[in-house]
Chains A and B, each alone.
Chain A
Amino acid sequence: MSRLTNLPTLRIRPGTPISFRYGKKLCEGVEGDTIATALYASGTRIFSRSLKYHRPRGLYGLEGECSNTFMRVDGVPNVPAEKTFLRPGMRVVPQVGPGGLRWDVLAFMDKMSWAMPAGFYYRMFHRPAALWPRVIPFIRRAAGKGVLDADFELPGRCDEIYVNSDICVIGGGPSGMAAALAAAEKGFRVILLEARPWLGGSWDHRISLREDGTPLFESAAQLARQVEESPLVRVFRHTAVAGVYPERVVAAFQTGGPSDSFRERYVEVRSESLVVATGCTERPLLFEHNERPGVMQAGCAHRLAHTWGILPGRRVVFSVGDDLGLEGALDLAELGVEVPCVADVRWSGQDAGLLARMREKKIPFFKGWTASRSMGRKTVKGVELKSTNGVHGRRFPCDVLVASAGQTPVTGPLAVAGARLVHDDRTNFFLPGNLPPGMHAAGRMLGYMAPEAMELSGRLAGLGAVLDFGGRTMDVVEEMRETEARLGRPPEGCQFVMAPVKGKKTFVCFDEDTTVRNVNQAMEMGLDVPELIKRWTAAGTGPGQGGIPGHNLPLLVSHSRASPDEDPRPTTTRPPLVPVLMGTYGGRNHDMCKRTPVHALQEAAGGHMERVGVWMRARRFGTEDHVRKEVANVRSNVGLLDSSTLGKFRLHGPDALKVLQRVYVSDLSTLREGRVRYSAMCTEDACVLDDGVVVKRGEEDYYFTTSSARSGATAEWIHYHARYENWDYDLVNLTDAFGVINLAGPRAREVLEKMTREDVSGSAFPFSGYRELMVGGSIPVRAMRLGFVGELSYELHVPSSLMQSLWEMLEEAGRPLGIQNFGLEAQNILRLEKGHVILGSESEQRTTLHDLGLGFLWSRKKNDGRMVGLPALQRTEHQEGRLKLVGFKMTDPAHQVPRDGSIIADRKIWGHVCTARYSDALGHPIGFALVKEPFCVMGARLPIYEDGCQGRLIHGQVIPTPFYDAGGERMKK
């Protein structure tokens, strides 16, 4: 088909062909074409088959409001062909079932609609019960149209950008641009988001003249130039808004063009004030076979010609409901299309000028008439028009039927932002009844159709947005008053009219094949509010996201008077307002993990690095059996462990002690300088929340550690529990400022002695001692003598920037002594042998301090009566029936180590194994378990049930802990 090439409004570049694949065929379009326009221009009329009835579907609109034109493009399913611009080499595959577009073998389903009333699935296939599972595979196969390959990888880069401005305007039509310009004029920064790749909105394709003789498209271009020239307005084109969230967070996504570095990018805009000027779309006209290929919306036909240079058909009948429809008919007639007649559902209200032109062109015009049926088989061959009261009727042959019930506002951004939409009888629009603070609406979406009114309304909203900031207001208020006065009331809209038909094949929702009759069926069944009808009939739940039914369903329901809703009530709009790729939402998906200062060193040493919470940590330094060597080396020589992930805090100030006393269970008033105290924090239920050590570095100055996972949460916990006290203290999170090296093993002291001149002998630096040392000449170290792994060990806290040096020096000094890295798993075994718990590993959410056997940490004497967890500690101390932590060894001769998480079960479940490992030091497996009485008493035999054991139990026996070095001589040495 030849294209029109000489229109001033064209967005294509005729003569620059682009070829692409469509199914098996090679097709051609031109630069600027979308897939759909290229296909339409080359004669394609059937774009898909419908989901349920396999009816042929064609190009109905250009806004992606239904899945008629959804195709698979370069492997991505459900791509709206009319919104996707051609790229050379694109592979486009229509989404059809068996038989293809023209000869769908399931087309007979269309004749079966009597058997598939609304909600028929709920009442079929469930008896006998064995039937349903057999039906499921068929249902699954029939559902959905998009095909995705399991190994598909989205090509191209998805990006993200977070921007802010004073004012954000959604919609780059005349009103949106006027709003942006008004705000920029007053000195405010504006971000303007436009879904199309160009600005201009409803004007960019229209040649009608304004009062001053300028054609609308020219006016739009002028506004666009001003916007582009304004240094205060930043324009995002081809950026569709997907959601508007509280505090005016706008989430949108931008489609990259040939010169962009991204395929798509997620755009999140924050602003103080928001103007929504998203205009209108067309309300579908309801009549029999209203979706046969060849039926299209007025804007679609108009734009096909003016934007893409395609005449939609040879003989085009119009059945419309507003002046834009009439304008479209005249423009097409002007271009040489035969227009046998124009029907308008309105009885009055048409623009006199348009009517005069219609008479001039001798186009028969029917007021108060509507299409009642389209005729033809696969595509439209004719139309039956009727007067809306059903009395008169006439038929016309045609190859395209333009059908529209007039305009309807695009209220999505308002609705998801929380505006209540109220039906307005005059415009027949849902208008915002209230707008959230800082939000404004403008333009056609409020019903303003005249060019001047659209601009004024935009300007008014822009000024309103300016006012949200306060200041410099008098002139603005004055100007707003004037603007408002000039603006006046919007004109009357097209009322809801349904063709005088039964509605058996009158589709309310194309995606789900929901007919007017289905809606009536739902109402007969008592589902009488649109929200329930939507669920029962699925209308609006398809991939077009309610674009087609969203406007008609509430009007239809209210029109039928079977609903308790007297005023039409729209169904809830939910984000995303347009479908958005997961890849786009995901963006760059930047991994924010933390690495300790010696990450690289450990990796180089063969560390098997794993993500533990937010950190990367070394689990072991070799294969799995290497762990045994790591353990042995700590037990007999000396090892190095990176413990930098511990939470580390400074707490200081006159009330620091009070804070500690509030959250820790111990009495820290007795803590002396130079000593380390191990303690724990509990919840109000006495459940253990955190453990760690506290050091007193000076008067009113404490340093403490928390478990790695809780460093952030602990700070919050402390502030929370001190919130009403007005205490004078400061809490500084030093977690990332310090690294921690655990130097452990019988030869640890020898290593340390080599590196410092200070006395670190057992008497000068005893167990539980704290010293601040200079190590390696100039590295300040906070050293603690602890024994988590059960050997002589030093926990060295050092400024992160110096940690790598210290680590290397320790390795150097320890080399002759056999120093080696050890990882988390070795630590796990070492501490298990020593009978030390790891919270989360040996405790559950409900495990109390008493349950863990750590009740001795709780000081009853201390004088904070409001210590967190105090009443619960008192009440739970002697409670029966709780899970208690016990140590056990395996007694079966096979020495099988039970898997962590196995249960203790004997007719019922009594508890579970927390951690169990084989101990080389002891020569048998040991473990911790949480068990109830009577299994938690010393000597009890534990029947252990592992997953998959099929009833074959293994056995352990409760024994005292520590399993290793019970007297603690080794660690205290």
Chain B
Amino acid sequence: MFGRYKRLWSSPPQRPAYDAVIIGGGLHGLSTAYFLASRHGIRDVAVIEKRYMGFGGSGRNTAIVRANQRTPENLPLYKEALELWPVLTEELDFNLMFYNCGNLNLAHSEAALKAMRLQVASAQFHGIDIRMVGPKECKELVPILDISNRLRYPIFGGMFHPAGGILRHDAVVWGMARGASKLGVHIHQGTEVTGIGVQNGRVVHVDTDKGRIQTRRVLNAAGGYSADIAFRMLGMKLPISVLTIQAMVTQPLKPILHHVVSSGMYHCYANQTLKGEIATGAHMDPWPTYTTGTTARYIKHQAEALGELMPCLRGVKFMRSWSGLADMTPDMAPIMDGNEPVRGYYMDCGWGYFGFKSSCVTGKYMAQYMATEECPQILKPFALKRFEEHRLMGETAALVEYSPDN
């Protein structure tokens, strides 16, 4: 039925030169490689990963996808991303397990309702399926919610975004890696990039612990490590703080939660995976620890929040918690840029805790950027120089509190 167990991707020896080198075997790197090969015929590409595919955020996230963004710069990008998952599933011939269950965001104050209305109006204006809902409808969508006044922050209403949902993050990593590899992209696991060579303002090679690679194009898609790479290898200081973000799952249950539910006030979100686990996460640790360790505080907070919002979950057991690194910019929007100040050096980072849902579409546009050397219109607002000009993007309405120094 399945034939032999063919390798998902091959491991050819590293060549001394590639047309393009991608640092990081996470989704952003893999997706860019895939689109370079599939859309631009650039197949002489190496993806260099220091550990294994999906070792970074791509293998640790909770795989929530949605397009209910706040600003006109972001909306089209995420909308396209949502539409791309089913297409990619067929194209890659790999079940990415897109479970289009819809997202319900809860509001616990007038102010939150106002913020949501802005998001809803903006998304609707861009033709995205989303609407405001009252507390009663919240309860209809998620019967286990407590909409009474017992809550310390009672539910005022929410926004429901039927177009969103979850995928299986590992499936996306493997599917992309397999797809890229089939088209001739080289995947090098267990290989670390140690330097980027620049001559006359242009990238000329990349050094790895397995040897030097001549190349004129390199993409920094190293997630939580990208700022470190930019600084160590090119002396570029990116306005990125690296924070730890945790997530956890409960033991599997029969279906009980049919949408992604999230609450900014309670700092938590939860959904039930196809395996039946309630997967849940929240905000980042308040300060950098430079580890992927978990904390006692966090899992407790999560239990308090979920147990209050959905009281029956107090009878469910957590079975695993983990964490990953979030590369956060001051405005919580990514940096996608290239050829500045070094020609041939591209970056796609600062994706923090929200870079899963966009990975397919940014890969598509970053590939276009790298292939044509022209920045696609849709990526222009994400250039690094916005920070120099004090033009922050408006993805988060409120002040960002995670670190006083940026």
Cross-chain contact B253 with A144 (CB below 8 angstroms): yes
Q: Which residues of A contact B96 (CB under 8 A)?
A: 126
Chain A, residue nearest B117 (CB): A901
Whether A206 sits at the interface, judged by CB under 8 Å, is no
CB distance from B250 to the nearest CB of A (A): 7
8 Å CB interface, B260-315 against A: 272, 274-277, 291, 293-296, 299-300, 302-304, 306-308, 311-315
Knowing A126-B90, A127-B93 touch, does A589 contact B315 (C-beta < 8 A)?
Answer: no
CB distance from B1 to the nearest CB of A (A): 6
Cross-chain contact B8 with A527 (CB below 8 angstroms): yes
Cross-chain contact B255 with A612 (CB below 8 angstroms): no
Q: Among A120, A122, A141, A151, find the residue whose CB has the most chain B CB atoms closer than 10 A.
A: A122
Instruction: Report which of B59, B174, B315, B394 forms a contact with A148, defined as CB distance below 8 A.
Output: B315
CB distance from A429 to the nearest CB of B (A): 23
Give A526 to B116 CA distance when docked, in angstroms.
Answer: 45
Cross-chain contact B296 with A245 (CB below 8 angstroms): yes
Cross-chain contact A564 with B190 (CB below 8 angstroms): yes
CB distance from B227 to the nearest CB of A (A): 18
Cross-chain contact B72 with A720 (CB below 8 angstroms): no
Give A685 to B315 CA distance when docked, in angstroms.
Answer: 47
Cross-chain contact A902 with B331 (CB below 8 angstroms): no
Cross-chain contact B8 with A144 (CB below 8 angstroms): no
Whether B153 sits at the interface, judged by CB under 8 Å, is yes
Instruction: Report which of A150, A611, A881, A901 forms a contact with B114, defined as CB distance below 8 A.
Output: A901
Interface string of B333-346 (1 = CB under 8 A from A): 00000000000000
Q: Which residues of A contact B250 (CB under 8 A)?
A: 582
8 Å CB interface, B119-149 against A: 119-122, 124-125, 131-132, 143-144
Whether A319 sits at the interface, judged by CB under 8 Å, is no
Whether B35 sits at the interface, judged by CB under 8 Å, is no
Interface string of B185-226 (1 = CB under 8 A from A): 000001000000000000000000000000000000000000
CB distance from B295 to the nearest CB of A (A): 6
Knowing A75-B315, A153-B312, A582-B307 touch, does A122 contact B300 (C-beta < 8 A)?
Answer: no
Q: Which residues of A contact B6 (CB under 8 A)?
A: 525
Instruction: Report which of A132, A720, A905 forms a contact with B125, defined as CB distance below 8 A.
Output: A905
Whether B382 sits at the interface, judged by CB under 8 Å, is no
Whether A524 sits at the interface, judged by CB under 8 Å, is yes
CB distance from A824 to the nearest CB of B (A): 9
8 Å CB interface, B85-122 against A: 86, 89-90, 93-100, 109-111, 113-122
Interface size of A in residues (CB-CB distance below 8 Å): 118
Q: Which residues of B contact A123 (CB under 8 A)?
A: 2, 94-95
Chain A, residue nearest B187 (CB): A526
Whether A780 sits at the interface, judged by CB under 8 Å, is no
Cross-chain contact A586 with B307 (CB below 8 angstroms): yes
CB distance from B300 to the nearest CB of A (A): 5
Q: Among A117, A580, A582, A720, find the residue whose CB has the most chain B CB atoms closer than 10 A.
A: A582
Q: Which residues of B contact A114 (CB under 8 A)?
A: 1
Instruction: Report which of B110, B316, B392 forms a contact with A846, defined as CB distance below 8 A.
Output: B392
Q: Which residues of B contact A521 (CB under 8 A)?
A: 5
Q: Which residues of A contact B7 (CB under 8 A)?
A: 524-526
Give A182 to B76 CA distance when docked, in angstroms.
Answer: 66
Interface string of A571-598 (1 = CB under 8 A from B): 0101110011111111101010100000
Give A841 to B175 CA distance when docked, in angstroms.
Answer: 44
Q: Which residues of B contact A900 (CB under 8 A)?
A: 110, 113-114, 117
Instruction: Report which of B100, B170, B276, B389 forms a contact with A133, defined as CB distance below 8 A.
Output: B100
8 Å CB interface, B379-406 against A: 389-394, 396-401, 404-406
Cross-chain contact A144 with B275 (CB below 8 angstroms): yes
Main secondary structure of the interface of B (DSSP, over half): loop
Q: Which residues of A contact B119 (CB under 8 A)?
A: 901
Which of A17-25, A225-233, A942-950 is found at the contact surface with chain B? A942-950
Which of A291-299, A347-355, A471-479, A871-879 is found at the contact surface with chain B? A871-879
Whether A782 sits at the interface, judged by CB under 8 Å, is no
Knowing A531-B52, A909-B125 touch, does A947 contact B312 (C-beta < 8 A)?
Answer: no
Give A418 to B171 CA distance when docked, in angstroms.
Answer: 29
Give A392 to B253 CA distance when docked, in angstroms.
Answer: 45
Give A76 to B312 CA distance when docked, in angstroms.
Answer: 9
Whether A8 sits at the interface, judged by CB under 8 Å, is no
Q: Which residues of A contact B303 (CB under 8 A)?
A: 582-586
Which of B317-325, B348-356, B370-378 is found at the contact surface with chain A? B317-325
CB distance from B369 to the nearest CB of A (A): 23
CB distance from A524 to the nearest CB of B (A): 4
Cross-chain contact B89 with A129 (CB below 8 angstroms): yes
Cross-chain contact B390 with A143 (CB below 8 angstroms): no
Chain A, residue nearest B250 (CB): A582
Cross-chain contact B255 with A140 (CB below 8 angstroms): yes
Give A123 to B9 CA distance when docked, in angstroms.
Answer: 15
CB distance from A739 to the nearest CB of B (A): 23
Interface string of A232-254 (1 = CB under 8 A from B): 00000000000101100101000
Knowing A150-B144, A687-B392, A846-B394 touch, does A117 contact B5 (C-beta < 8 A)?
Answer: yes
Give A950 to B190 CA distance when docked, in angstroms.
Answer: 53
Knowing A589-B308, A947-B117 touch, does A581 contact B317 (C-beta < 8 A)?
Answer: yes
Whether A826 sits at the interface, judged by CB under 8 Å, is no
Give A757 to B89 CA distance when docked, in angstroms.
Answer: 81
Whether A713 sits at the interface, judged by CB under 8 Å, is yes
Instruction: Report which of A122, A846, A908 forms a contact with B174, defined as CB distance below 8 A.
Output: A122
Cross-chain contact A610 with B392 (CB below 8 angstroms): no
Knowing A148-B256, A246-B293, A527-B8 touch, does A579 contact B300 (C-beta < 8 A)?
Answer: no
Cross-chain contact B117 with A713 (CB below 8 angstroms): no
Instruction: Report which of A117, A610, A912 forms a contact with B118, defined as CB distance below 8 A.
Output: A912
Q: Which residues of A contact B111 (CB under 8 A)?
A: 840-841
Interface string of A911-946 (1 = CB under 8 A from B): 010010000000000000000000000000000011
CB distance from B18 to the nearest CB of A (A): 21
Instruction: Report which of B252, B254, B390 forms a contact with A686, defined as CB distance below 8 A.
Output: B390
Chain B, residue nearest A686 (CB): B390
Knowing A720-B404, A903-B118, A947-B132 touch, does A589 contact B307 (C-beta < 8 A)?
Answer: yes
Q: Which residues of A contact B398 (CB under 8 A)?
A: 840, 844-845
Q: Among A524, A531, A543, find the residue whose CB has the most chain B CB atoms closer than 10 A.
A: A543
Chain A, residue nearest B311 (CB): A153
Cross-chain contact B171 with A150 (CB below 8 angstroms): no
Knowing A144-B275, A147-B254, A909-B125 touch, does A585 contact B318 (C-beta < 8 A)?
Answer: yes
Interface string of A669-710 (1 = CB under 8 A from B): 000000000000001111101000000000000000000000
Q: Which residues of A contact B118 (CB under 8 A)?
A: 901-903, 912
Q: Which residues of B contact A115 (CB under 8 A)?
A: 1
CB distance from B360 to the nearest CB of A (A): 15
8 Å CB interface, A117-137 against B: 117, 120-129, 132-133, 136
CB distance from B41 to the nearest CB of A (A): 25
Whether A77 sits at the interface, judged by CB under 8 Å, is yes
Give A298 to B171 CA distance when docked, in angstroms.
Answer: 39
Q: Among A75, A133, A148, A883, find the residue whose CB has the most chain B CB atoms closer than 10 A.
A: A148
Cross-chain contact B254 with A148 (CB below 8 angstroms): yes
CB distance from A93 to the nearest CB of B (A): 13
Knowing A143-B274, A586-B300 touch, does A947 contact B131 (C-beta < 8 A)?
Answer: yes
Q: Which residues of A contact B272 (CB under 8 A)?
A: 140
Cross-chain contact A145 with B252 (CB below 8 angstroms): yes
Chain B, residue nearest A869 (CB): B390
Whether B330 sits at the interface, judged by CB under 8 Å, is yes
What are 6 A-B residue pairs whose CB atoms fall within 8 Å in the complex? A78-B251, A140-B274, A543-B252, A586-B304, A587-B300, A903-B121
- List 19 other contacts, CB 8 Å, given A576-B299, A576-B319, A909-B72: A78-B317, A117-B2, A121-B97, A122-B94, A126-B94, A144-B276, A146-B254, A148-B312, A245-B293, A245-B295, A535-B59, A545-B320, A582-B303, A583-B315, A686-B390, A844-B394, A845-B400, A875-B390, A947-B117
9 tightest A-B contacts by CB?
A144-B276, A901-B117, A144-B252, A585-B303, A583-B314, A579-B317, A846-B392, A126-B95, A526-B7
